[in-house]
Amino acid sequence: MHSPSVWTGHLRPATHSRSRLVVFPHAGAGPRTYARLLSGLPGDVELIGVTLPGRERRADETPTGPLAAAVQGIGSELAALPPLPTLYWGHSMGSLLAVTVAAHRPGPCAGLVLTAGIPGPDALDFAVPLDSPEGLELMFTRHRLPLRALDTGSGHSTADYVLAHDLVLARSALLGLDGVRLGLPLTAYAGADDPLVPASTLPGWRDFTTGGFRSRTLAGGHFFPFLPSNGRVLLADIAATLQSCALAGDTTRGVVR
């Protein structure tokens, strides 16, 4: 008897699946945020969403927790799924988490699509070291959120409380990217007018893989994938990549550190 999934779950019923897409949401969000956008993918693509504590079906849990626990939990559940050509898509914080999971548990992943992700702690010219208390405060300031939102009695909304704890997780994931080299194809997208992750940082993702690398800038800000025209472009790329993986039967590529 299999243990119930905690970190991952299907976003739609899966029948006769030929490939799989795993969705890593942005900070403060759950995978259901992406369900409508991803409904445009072919029916033979199995859609798996990653759900962190504190949102959606895990709303009663304390948000987020240590990065190592998330990576272990997500990676173990993905590794236990039936073998299929699998692509990870992460947006913003989800990009950092997708790369981290792929680096630590590479087996199920055949490639990554990253949108609005910061390619490492040195990609942006932070005024203070990111691994310092001042660095954490700067990260919160960039998201227009005070540090006190981390406390349950701060008077902030539940959404702000979840986002605050996700920002701590995102910082840990960002700092942990140092030295990561994936042996996987990686496609990175940026929004031309994204104030949080400037398009100029996009080429930095090339250094994180020894596999193929592609990049593209689309119109819009930080949530550019949710613009209808951009969503169509992104889904077409994902569908084509998954089809290639399915035809090749490529389910295992390694990680080089």
DSSP state of 209: B
Residue among 25, 23, 18, 22 at smallest CA distance from 45: 18
Sign of the CA dihedral with 216 first, then 95, 181, and 46 last: negative
What are the structural domains, with CATH classification, of the chain? 8-121+174-247 (3.40.50.1820)
Tokens describing residue 217: 């800038």
Tokens describing residue 37: 């956008």
Q: Longest Cα pair distance anywhere in the chain, in angstroms? A: 53
Tens digits of per-residue pLDDT, 134-184? 999 999 999 999 999 998 776 789 999 999 999 999 999 999 998 899 999
Residue 249: pLDDT band (50, 70, 90) is low
Residue 4: count of CB within 10 angstroms of its CB:
7
Q: What is the pTM of this model?
A: 0.92
Tens digits of per-residue pLDDT, 209-233? 999 999 999 999 999 999 999 999 9
Tens digits of per-residue pLDDT, 10-64? 998 777 898 999 999 999 999 999 999 999 999 999 999 999 999 999 999 999 7
